[in-house]
Structure 1
Amino acid sequence: GAFNNAGVAMGLIDSNMQIFKVNQASCDLSGYSEDELTKMPMLDLTHQSDRAQSKQLFEDLINGIRQQYQLRKRYTRKNGESIWVNVTVSTVNDDNGDFEYAVVHAQDISQEYQLTQKLTHQAQHDALTDLPNRYAFEMRLQELLDLKDNDEHVLCYLDLDQFKVVNDTCGHIAGDEVLRQLATVLKQGLRKSDLLARIGGDEFAVLMFNCSLDAAKHQLELLLTKIRDFHFIYEEHSFNIGASMGLVVIDAQSTMTEALKHADSACYAAKEAGRDRLHIYTHDDEFLTQRSGEMAWVARIQRALLENSFLMYRQEIVATNGNDKSSHYELLIRMKEDDGTIISPGIFLPAAERYNLAAGIDSWVVNHVVNTLVSARNDGKKISGIYNINLSGHSLGDTRFYDEIIKKIQQSKLDESDVCICFEITETAAISNMTAALHFITELRAVGCQFALDDFGSGLSSFAYLKQLPIDYLKIDGMFVRDCLSDPVNLEMIDSINSIGHVMGLKTVAEFVENDEIFNKIQEVGVDYAQGYWNGKPQPWIID
């Protein structure tokens, strides 16, 4: 019947937690025969670490506290292998309304679980050194701050001196190697309880738990000596590397923003004082937060917004099957200096993000794109196509911003010209602001916009979150695509993300497609669209 032939594993369990009936799919899943399973208590099939929770939940069913529960747990197969399963257990009551038996549905999710675990590790670790990255470090720092304990902890920012000399002299391969070797030196020079992370190109951070300022200073001065003693030899070159360190005490009154800002300021002070030293933040150092370099960028960004000296470049997004001939571009912002120099967003956007100017830039971009399209239409030019626009995390929670966008898009009536605006949001920004992101996406989809989740695989990468977001495109992060020909793990990641995207009804886009060989490979895997330098560098956006 339907029970025996069901494609999902099913079983019936009595009030003694004894399995008394199973279907063939249960046997296939567990590796046991029907006879073996029906002589087995339910908990014997459950991994030892998950038994206590499973027992408690099942007892709740028997006692009528709940009628159903869902659980992600592990089963132990007959061959000893552990598999992850999604289990739904539902009560069947007798005529008196009392528990008679329970129906179990179990689905093998091992592949999805393992992929999520891999992506989570990648999301929280630096690929080069395998140290925790900025996201993981700040998450752990926030956990510490939330404790509001009376213990003293110390945060240290560490910026390498002379690293640029290695890169400029010997290239990025040598630079990568020096970072790998120094990461080992740093780990060996710290206490086992300390958290070391790589938070930027040549920037590291250390969280020293339950550590007085004097103890931290002593430990880090010893570490500075170890760094001075480190000699990096590459081909015929030999380099000495130094470090500038900034320390700040963390206590129950500290906040994330202040702690990071003060450690950064102290590190800056160490560099200004001559490098190769440490500097302890005090409240008298407040002036250091007004950093001349970044503040100069803030002024330039504000001027560019006022004087309209931003401009847009375009990069084509190409259908891999060759059948879709419609125009599809990602539009990319640039800044134009007075002397005509074009500045890439990687130079000015960090300052914009830090000093809350990103939403203003986003607003400029949307207005500029819509106005340009309307003007071109009025001139009789063909404007149909999809135009992707990047949004910062700051804009997701700004209701004034999307009210302005909705009004602008509705007034433009671009949909009547077969124009679709597709907003790209990063996975990290979406998940960090999930409620705001869902509202934002829902509101804008209602006026005909589409959404792409950008850099998928580089951030939090939880497929559970992905299922909640009503998006149209999944953009596979370029770090997988760039090396997919030489790295079979990256290729498998692309294949897995592409498959899951397709199951969810999403179109997939591979970023950083740099040559024909990579294009052919992602075409073979079945990714829907490709984007990258193989098709030319971004060009100024001009509607012919």
Structure 2
Amino acid sequence: MIDKILNTRTILAVDDDPTNIHAVAGYLQPHGAKLLVANSGEKALEVLAQNIPDLIILDINMPGQSGIEVCRKIKQDTRLEQVPVLFLTGSVKDVSEAFAVGGVDYIVKPVRSEELLARVSTHIRLSQLVKSLDKANLLLESVNESLEMKVQERTLELVTVNKNLRIEIDERRRLQDKISYLSNYDFVTRMFNRNSMEQELKVVMETQSDADARSFLYYIDLDQFKIINDTCGHVAGDELLRQIAELLRGGFEFASICARMGGDEFAVLSQSLNLDDAIKRAHLIKDNIENHRFEWNEEVFKHSISMAVVEIDEGIDSVSHLLSIAERTCFESKRKGGGEVSIYNYSKDYIDKTQQQMKIIPLIHQAIEDNQFILYFQHICANNDSKLQKIEVLLRLQDESGKIKPPGHFIPVAERFHLITEIDKWVLKNTFKAISSLPENIIVSINLSGEFIIKSNAVELIRDLLLQHKVQPSRICFEITETSAISNIGATHRFMLELNETGCLFSLDDFGTGTSSYEYLKQLPVDFVKIDGMFVRDIENDEISRKMVESISGIARAKQIKVIAECVESEAALNIINNMGVDYYQGFVAHKPEPLMNLFTLVK
């Protein structure tokens, strides 16, 4: 069936990650699909200027023009406005905006064969149905005109012609009703779709008064929906969605409005006397859904939901604002591990903080594009007379006013919203370019995120930079935090082994904070261990900290691994770690971070 649908169909795949492009091609081309590819939004628009595909698979997060921007331009082009756009995303946080600009569906990366084929074939079939309906309408219009001419010319056949005309008109109306239904209702659950819910919310927000009943939006996300799709297939997933829809319809008053917002997310617009009443209703719905047993192929599944309750009041100024609050409040339930009901009033501080963080995202994008990041450095001092010098490269951000922002201002945001890999790339490219002019006795430590090191092209990028700038690998030490290494120990181990072969060094940063630190020290091929500053900062006053540093130093020496103590801020602390035999120290007692460009002056 899929071969019949995809054969000779032209599909444009747009993604800056060649791994995703190869995966999409590998899944679609065996079924006869003709694949066009582009590695950026700009390239995609160039391809579309010459071609009109049957479907577009579009990555949301790309350098340059994002998938959201590209989709908006596609939908403004009359040649392309009917081409379905299927988004690829690494996080469901982008889904709301993706649907808002005209996307028909989304797939969460990494791309899975079964899901991709099901979504692509479904939307190509729907697209072809709409095209067929459009052609039928044109044909019917032509038939109507022809019939009207015959009525005028052949009055003797009036009865017969009128009868045929009524049949044709009825068919046309049925087709138009079907198109209208599909534009306002979800095909799977027969509920309102997102567009219809937005229209209903707009009406409520424009007409609500100080009546006794108050309006609330309930936003619901199934926690284990992916398990059903992965284990039982998308047919089972659709059946589960239909059953959840029925539970929601039965759990609210007839006047309530229910909608499927996309994927496994639902929304209900309803009225209650007060917030406490709305919360009770939310818990009743939650219990009803979580007690439901979904049976498929003699297997029984139970599932939990994450839920948000938002009162629609004067503090919410638009439908998009309301949905943004609801989605973020629901995400707060997800963040707690799922199976939670979060109330906007109670979650407001967290959501407001998230919205503040969102404002930093454009600054990060601009800093990457306009080189507004600044490289700093700090000496790592040896407790011997080694002629080798070690420095750690640090990062700062300069805002529009010229103020220097510390990493704590933007790194957590970059990590949360998956921008950290682009920052790592910027740091690597600019650091290699800078240190190529420094003396060869300087070893440079560079911090890498856990998200970057699991990328398939991470090692290749570093090798290319080593060759491009003619930097000896032995001058480079990559610092990987213990928590990042533990989160994906297999990928970290492979990354370190491949670069160890070139001569690069590795340091395990923030050591001692993990639950199984020594076990991972045995597994990973590290050259240095950097003791977390929480054990060093107050070492002269805290006996437990001293014992921790002694323990880590002893284990490291047994494995012939050098030890670095960070956050050494006093002479007393320095004397203690020297007596313990720590190999290197780093902190304000020796050197405060300064711009990397200053180092070029110092070494002249």
TM (norm. structure 2) is 0.43
Counting helix residues as a fraction of each chain, which structure ranks higher?
Answer: 2
TM (norm. structure 1) is 0.48
Structure with higher Rg: it is 2
